[in-house]
Structure formats: C-alpha cells, structure tokens
Chains A and B, each alone.
Chain A
Amino acid sequence: MVTNILILGDGAAGTIMANKLRFLTHREDAEITVIGNSKYHYFKPDGIHIPLGIKNYRDSVKNPKFLFNYGINYVRDSVTRIDVDNRNVSTQSGKNYTYDYLVIATGDRLVPEEIENFDREAHHFYTLEGSLELKEKLSGFNGGKIVIGPSSIPYQCPPAPYEFAFQLDRYLRRRGIRDKTELHYIFPLNRVFTMENVSNYVQKLFDEKDIIYHTLFNLESIDAQKKTVSSLEGEDQKYDFLILVPPHKGQQVITESGLAGDQGYIAVDRHHLNYGDYDNVFVVGDATDLPISKAGATAHFQSEYLSGRIASEISGFVAEELYDGSVACTTVTGDEKAFTLYFSYTRPPRALFQSKADYLLKWTSADTYFSGMLRGVM
C-alpha cells in the first residue's frame, strides 16, 4: 500500500521535509506531494547583507520547482482550508487533497498593517523587496538618528535585528558617516536579547561600537509627523531613519481552519511535533507556537527528527526518538566576525566567542543551504 504524505508550504521546512522523506522512503511505499505558493525561494538570512550592498540578491534566490528531489510531486497552489477531521485539504484552484500524513510547514507572515504608519515610515530587511528598497534608501542617508529593532515578539531569527545593527555600524563607518550618525537599538525585554548570557555579550559589543540601546521598549505607535516611535512603557524616541522588524503572525488559513487562534501559531506536542490528538498531523518550522527560535536551523532539526519518524513508521518500525528543541545559529557581530550558538529546550547556549571562521560560515550559508541543507543531504 502506498502511504500518501502531503506537505503544505514550499519554504525551508516544507522543502527540507520533502527531500529528506524522499531519501528515506521507496517511491512504491510513499507518495510525497508538496503544495506551496511561493513565487521564488529566497534565502532570508541574506537580508543582513543585501541592503548594505555587500551581497548580490541573485545568489539568494532560486526557482522552488528545481529544489525538490526527483520523485516529489510539487504543486503550485494556495491552501485555502485544512480539515484535519476529514483528512482533506482544499486549494484556491478548487482541488481537494487527502492524505495519510499531513505536514504543515506554512511558516508565518508579516503584518506591518497592524501598526499605523509602519509602511509609510519604517524600512525593513525581512523580505527581498524590503531589503532592496532599504538598500536604495540607505544610499541616500547621510547622517542623523537611526532607530532599529523588533516591533514585537515573536519574529523570525531573534538575532537578526542586532546582527543588522552591527552590519549597519560597519557600513556607516565605511561610508565615513558613522560620526554623523546615532544608532539606537530598541528591544521589548529588559535586556537586548532574549537569552541572558547572549544578551550580556551583545550588550558589551553594543557599548564598544557606540550603539545605544533602549530596553523594555514595546513599540506601540509611530508618529509620522513628529518622526517619533513610542513604547507601551511610555518612552519616545525620535528618528530620522527607522528600521523595524514588522510584526509577525501565522498564516490566515491556519486561523480560518480553526487550527490556531488569532495569532495563527499552531500548538504542537513539543517532543513529537504532532497537532492535538492527531498522530498523523505534524507541524514544522515557523508555523508552530513552540518557545524556540523561528529559524531555518530549527526547521532543519525538526525535519531531521520528523522525516526519520514518519519514514520509520512507514517501514513498520516505530522510533522512540524525541525532538529536543535543538537549534544552531551563527550570528554576525560586524567587522567580518560572528559567533555560533547551540542550544535546545534544556541546554542554554554555552560560552561565546567571535571568529572570522564563523563569519565565513554565515557568508557562505546560502550555498550550503541551497546545495545541501534544503536538498536533504545534511
């Protein structure tokens, strides 16, 4: 009997899952279908390089169709309804799909419209379009006060805003306008990053690089006339140039299908990644509400676990392995240096040190991603 595996989403998590599963199962035992609606597959981590003109965006974009291994049925369509009780998925083109295993990997979406004046005033590096627009605007910037930070939590890749601040500091120095620029970093917690030891480290580097930080700053509003951002805690910061991570939410189809509330993130079992009482419905990547980084590395580790589990069930043997929340992430600190963090649900990140080697790892990660990680060979 052929097992029918349906994967929703053609981003990092969906592609890695499909490719890994294809490697682990025989074609006569498992049919793998991926439904995704992306125009192109963009390597989002390059958003910290592209706006600063140090990387060409062409190396960061691929046609999703060519990223799937042989034997995977890739359908370009939008999922409009997921009915887990009747094992049915409907799409915009009017088709219906059934499944034995469902893997939801629809990621999350940016909702700048949730903050008035965001689109008019703020720039960001969270999409390719945003990064290219930011590149153009930054080239016309000749000094003043830049305010940068996340507008709310959760957002993809927690270190990305501080990485961008470090990269920006270097960019401004290279352009000879750092002494004419004040760099201000805002963050919602009472430190500059979620994890305390990483935060202490980043804070020290901020001090060295004269990046001024404002903690417990939960962005509430943007005043376009006064060019001021205000926090829920009652603090105002004026800006000449504003770079904010847009607010994030899960996909609308998730909320509309009753799989999650208004925030759109699906509650899953933290060690098995299955949804509710369903032992054939799984969620991987940014779509979950797990208390871990929304990162490609998370999607990678989860796919490693889940593809192994599904493949072993299909072959009639049940693996007892548990997903342990592992994440590895390399984060840039400017000046062509970076540090790498390894952590899990129970293991906090250990000692931190920057190196050029780590930066090289990050710099070449688009190649590693497209040719190795995404292909399911790593």
Chain B
Amino acid sequence: MEEQEKPTKVVDARGSFCPGPLMELIKAYKSAKTNDVISLYSTDTGTKKDAAAWINKSGNQLIGVFDREGYYEIVMKKTK
C-alpha cells in the first residue's frame, strides 16, 4: 500500500461471523474523521461483499480488498 493509505484505524474482526465484521466497521466509521483510512480484517467470506456494498452505498471510498494469510483485509477511506 502507498504511504497515504496507511490505516488510521484497524478493526480486527477475525473469528467473528456476519453481521459482526460489518457492524464493527460501521462502529469504527462512526468515530472516525473525514479522510481516515479504516482497515477491516475478517475471516468471514460473506463480509467481502457486504462491506463493499456498504462502503459504496454510504458514499465512501473502497480502497481495496486484499487476500492475506488466513484472512482478508478490506480497506476504506471515510470521504464524508
């Protein structure tokens, strides 16, 4: 990742199932500031789709979905 995309917040929701990871992301989002980058770690495969849908609908920016070892990382930027 580039320097400016370093997460301001990391939400580690590994081991938690739907809707846990998305709810954790929304909680972190509520307390974040505009331009903060939030990174969500999850092992629940459904969250990939759910989190991306939520980030788009809420008008924020999805930076990317990355496969990591044994989990994946969803990175978003709070643009509102």
Q: Which residues of A contact B (CB under 8 A)?
A: 153-154, 188-190, 194-196, 216, 218, 232-234, 291, 345
Q: Which residues of B contact A (CB under 8 A)?
A: 16-20, 22-23, 26, 29-30, 46, 49-50, 53-54, 57-59
Residues of B within 8 A of A154 (CB): 23
Residues of A within 8 A of B57 (CB): 190, 216, 233
Which residue of chain A is the closest to B23 with respect to CB atoms? A153
Residues of B within 8 A of A233 (CB): 54, 57-59
Q: Chain A nearest CB: distance from B34 CB in Å? A: 14
Which residue of chain B is the closest to A196 with respect to CB atoms? B46
Contact (Cβ within 8 A) A194 B54: no
**Contact of B19 (CB < 8 Å), options: A189, A232, A234, A345:** A189
Residues of A within 8 A of B29 (CB): 232
Q: Chain A nearest CB: distance from B33 CB in Å? A: 15
Taken together as a complex, chains A and B put the C-alpha atoms of A218 and B46 apart, in Å, by 18
Given contacts A153-B19, A216-B57, contact A232 B30 (CB under 8 A): yes
Q: Secondary structure at chain A's binding surface: helix, strand, loop or mixed?
A: loop
Given contacts A189-B50, A190-B50, A232-B30, contact A216 B19 (CB under 8 A): no
Given contacts A232-B58, A234-B59, contact A190 B53 (CB under 8 A): yes
Given contacts A218-B26, A233-B59, A234-B59, contact A190 B19 (CB under 8 A): no
Which residue of chain B is the closest to A195 with respect to CB atoms? B18
Contact (Cβ within 8 A) B58 A234: yes
Contact (Cβ within 8 A) A216 B54: yes
Q: Chain A nearest CB: distance from B29 CB in Å? A: 8
Q: Chain B nearest CB: distance from A176 CB in Å? A: 37
Given contacts A190-B53, A291-B20, contact A216 B46 (CB under 8 A): no
Taken together as a complex, chains A and B put the C-alpha atoms of A194 and B23 apart, in Å, by 12
Which residue of chain B is the closest to A194 with respect to CB atoms? B19
Smallest CB-CB A-B distances: 3 pairs: A190-B53, A291-B17, A233-B58
Q: Chain B nearest CB: distance from A235 CB in Å? A: 8
Taken together as a complex, chains A and B put the C-alpha atoms of A153 and B16 apart, in Å, by 14
Q: List 24 A-B contacts (CB under 8 A).
A: A153-B19, A153-B23, A188-B19, A188-B26, A189-B19, A189-B50, A189-B54, A190-B53, A190-B54, A190-B57, A194-B19, A195-B18, A196-B46, A216-B53, A216-B54, A216-B58, A232-B26, A232-B30, A232-B58, A233-B54, A233-B57, A291-B16, A291-B17, A291-B18
Taken together as a complex, chains A and B put the C-alpha atoms of A190 and B54 apart, in Å, by 7
Which residue of chain A is the closest to B18 with respect to CB atoms? A194
Task: Give the residue among A188, A195, A218 with the most B Cβ atoms within 10 A.
Answer: A218
Taken together as a complex, chains A and B put the C-alpha atoms of A234 and B58 apart, in Å, by 7
Which residue of chain A is the closest to B46 with respect to CB atoms? A196
Taken together as a complex, chains A and B put the C-alpha atoms of A240 and B22 apart, in Å, by 30
Residues of A within 8 A of B22 (CB): 189
Which residue of chain A is the closest to B60 with respect to CB atoms? A233
Q: Chain A nearest CB: distance from B47 CB in Å? A: 10
Q: Chain B nearest CB: distance from A353 CB in Å? A: 24
Taken together as a complex, chains A and B put the C-alpha atoms of A90 and B56 apart, in Å, by 49
Residues of B within 8 A of A188 (CB): 19, 23, 26
Taken together as a complex, chains A and B put the C-alpha atoms of A153 and B22 apart, in Å, by 10
Taken together as a complex, chains A and B put the C-alpha atoms of A153 and B54 apart, in Å, by 15
Which residue of chain B is the closest to A152 with respect to CB atoms? B23
Taken together as a complex, chains A and B put the C-alpha atoms of A218 and B23 apart, in Å, by 10
Which residue of chain B is the closest to A345 with respect to CB atoms? B17
Taken together as a complex, chains A and B put the C-alpha atoms of A154 and B19 apart, in Å, by 9
Q: Chain B nearest CB: distance from A248 CB in Å? A: 12
Task: Give the residue among B17, B18, B20, B57 with the most A Cβ atoms within 10 A.
Answer: B57
